[in-house]
Structure 1
């Protein structure tokens, strides 16, 4: 056997792979997961570093595709300290097992977009924080009747399709998801244009019928933003966007869902995952109050009041995002649905990766994928350590 192979081997562990938790070692080199057969039979080398995982569970790192901020930072509000704010949140997310995320901006004015968007760069993660996959733009092309916590003064129609979108946002090189209401004038043309540019389109904050939702999917959309929230309630004669879960379109439709114990009833969580199991994507939809005490915060131009862990638009009882981390959502989801541990973990890792089309490198522990993972207590699901590209970036004291 040769020495100095550049290999790290995790042993005495359970790993989640291909929907099963198995007793197997995890091998890593150059930030990627390695096939041990290649090591044993072809290279014939030994590991340089061996780590005893103490029989804990190794799962793919969590991916949060909808998060508005946390620890006092709101991605839509402070246009002067953008980089510092994103870095602060990225660092804090490591303690929650999150290895990648999509900073989310809510409905804002054009000036905010043109000031903030160029400064939230896609960025590889490490000890400095979780990987920034790209920005999720939630609005302003939404239906005023389903605005939720969004400021209606900035809501608009994408009248000229993609042209209106680009005029509003400016450059979208740093954007990975856009949420819009498909029933608006010009929305379908906008969906087609964004999809051609490689941007994922989600339907949400919408009063669309099922037929309008299906047309959006045909035009390129593949996501639903926070299912059940800010859309028409299910009706047996026209189930609206909720009906996309059981639609006959050939395309897999993914849907974000907030399992914080507040936004979505446990029965609704069960209905969703039993109807469209593969499409369920857990999101935190966390606001600036995540990780902090009750008090007054921002979400875009709106003031947020947090009472008892619930975030409301100040002066109302309109919910505006959660204060829970994605790791907590995994626990709540598993308890609410009594699903398998494997499935609960994949809804926060593999499923969001598939929704973004990056499952060939993130969201799983397959050979050749990025070595982004979290080590968990198999019963409590407490995050013990977080790893990005094979490097330990967080360890619980």
Structure 2
């Protein structure tokens, strides 16, 4: 990309204003989308370069808000030097670009999604090692002293206005957590409910106090029960108070309590690999709360690796049939799905529109994080991150801040 040069994307089906728009263009300059009227009509400036999309769908770059690792690197169980961390982040970030994901474009990271230690002992996750669980029981704690406990657990980075910690997953039933949610939001942190044994009343209280996200719906929470649906029951809530930050809540849908107001129900992440969550369950969630869905991979270190056997996180792992399993067993060791596959799966599982599938991996996570002005859409001023897709939503081209990525993984 030439500095200062104006680029124009033609011959595309553009994801804009909740529709696929034809006979229009995408303009970008200096790594940002720009307004065509300002550049063409006011400045009387023609494009310096034309990019022919050849009929492809042009959508914002995908955002995956839950990644534990990839390409043999596990950030959830990490004990390396700062320099090694930087190298591994760069390796994973460049690998994720092959799936159209911009959450970690080159050196950029939008922030950490921290799960624990303010979570339920009961729903801390399955053990990954003999000596340690996915969430170590010894560090799980409550917040009886309020925000002091959070600052003690996470250190000064928690005060860094979303530059370090972007999302905190909390269990609302843990002592002291509910009262801290508004204060955490004031620091720019997205509060998500998860790894929780909360009954529906506690879950609703968490949303009422400001949580606008649920972590991997159906996983690490109480199963649905007809008399107390637990956290899953939030999907059917009709009497939640108006959201404190409506611009970070889902748009209204035909299932919303108010058809013309932001939905008070939170967004929900869902692992759309067909393994962690059955396709029928994905469909139930979608039909209950279509505008709330955020597709996540929850990928572990085996993601991005070809089929075979590996030692990852102290375990012998076999990557096969779209999952990572303990060698010699059918025990699932983690997700290996990619975000672009999640998008295709979601459309196939739910029979939703192309627009709905794409927005579940672009606009929705950007809204939940409060960054829709720079990520998740093609609006002027946003980063020029975009994917070109065929009609089956397979990746054809990827651009990061206007620079095209070499899709080695997708070469034929």
TM-score bucket (shorter structure): 0.7 to 0.9
**Corresponding residue for residue 143 of structure 2:** 158
Partner of 2:108: 131
What is the aligned partner in structure 2 of residue 190 from structure 1?
180
**Residue 163 and residue 304 in structure 1: after superposition, are their counterparts in 2 closer, same or farther (change >3 A)?**
farther
The SS at the match of 2:65 is: strand
**1:294 Cα deviation after fit:** 4.1
Moved more, 232-241 or 35-44: 35-44
1:228 to 218, 225, 230: 218
2:154 is the counterpart of 1:169 = yes
Once the two structures are superposed, residues 72-96 of structure 1 have per-residue CA deviations (whole angstroms, 9 ceiling, x without a partner) of 1111323322111111100000110
Map 1:309-328 to 2 at 5 A: 309-311=322-324, 319-328=332-341
**Counterpart for residue 386 of structure 1:** 398
- Bigger shift: residues 322-331 or 210-219: 210-219
The structural deviation recorded for 1:50 is 0.9
Q: Tell me the equivalent position of 1:116.
A: none
Match of 2:377 in 1: 364
Partner residue of 2:260?
Answer: none
Q: Structure 2 matches for 1:1-397, cutoff 5 A?
A: 6-23=5-22, 24-80=24-80, 81-101=84-104, 125=105, 129=106, 131-149=108-126, 150=134, 151-172=136-157, 173=160, 174-247=164-237, 248-249=239-240, 250-251=242-243, 252=249, 253-292=266-305, 293-298=307-312, 303=315, 305-306=317-318, 308=320, 309-311=322-324, 319-379=332-392, 381-395=393-407, 396-397=410-411
Q: Deviations over 1:264-323 (max 9, x none)?
A: 111111111111111100000000000113434546xx7473453433578987645311
1:324 and 1:98 map into 2 onto residues whose CA distance is: 13
Structure 1 residues 303 and 185: alpha-carbon distance in aligned structure 2, compared to 1, 3 A threshold = farther
**Structure 1 residues 159 and 82: alpha-carbon distance in aligned structure 2, compared to 1, 3 A threshold:** farther
Q: Where does residue 259 of structure 2 map in the other structure?
A: none
Q: What does the per-residue CA deviation read over 1:45-80, in whole Å, with 9 as the maximum and x for residues that have no partner? A: 111111111111111100000000000111132332
Report which stretch shifted further, 318-327 or 178-187.
318-327
CA contact (8 A) 2:323 2:337 kept: no
Q: Distance in 1 between matches of 2:213 and 2:182?
A: 14
Unaligned runs of 5+ in 2: 127-133, 244-248, 250-265
Matched residues in 1 for 2:376 and 2:233: separation? Answer: 27
Over 3 Å counting, the alpha-carbon distance change for 1:180 and 1:59 in structure 2 is: same
Alpha-carbon contact 1:304-1:311 (below 8 Å) kept: no
* TM-score normalised by the chain length of structure 1: 0.86
For 1:284 and 1:10, how far apart are their aligned partners in 2? 30
Does the 8 Å contact 1:62/1:99 carry over to 2?
yes
8 Å contact 1:182–1:216 — kept in the other structure?
A: yes
* Greater alpha carbon shift after TM alignment, 53-62 vs 153-162: 153-162
User: Residues 121-180 of structure 1: CA distance to partner in whole angstroms, max 9, x if unpaired?
Assistant: xxxx3xxx2731000001122111112232333322233232112212212231100101
The whole-number CA distance in structure 1 between the counterparts of 2:35 and 2:45 is 13
- TM-score, scaled relative to structure 2: 0.83
Q: What is the rounded CA distance, in whole Å, between the counterparts of 1:350 and 1:15 in structure 2? A: 14
Which range is displaced more, 152-161 or 364-373? 152-161
Question: Post-superposition shift, 1:182?
Answer: 0.8
Count of aligned pairs between the two proteins: 365
**d(CA) in 1 for partners of 2:272, 2:386:** 21
Alpha carbons 2:302, 2:319 under 8 Å: kept: no
Q: Structure 1 residue 41: deviation in Å?
A: 2.1
> 1:139 and 1:305, CA in 2 relative to 1: closer, same or farther beyond 3 A?
farther
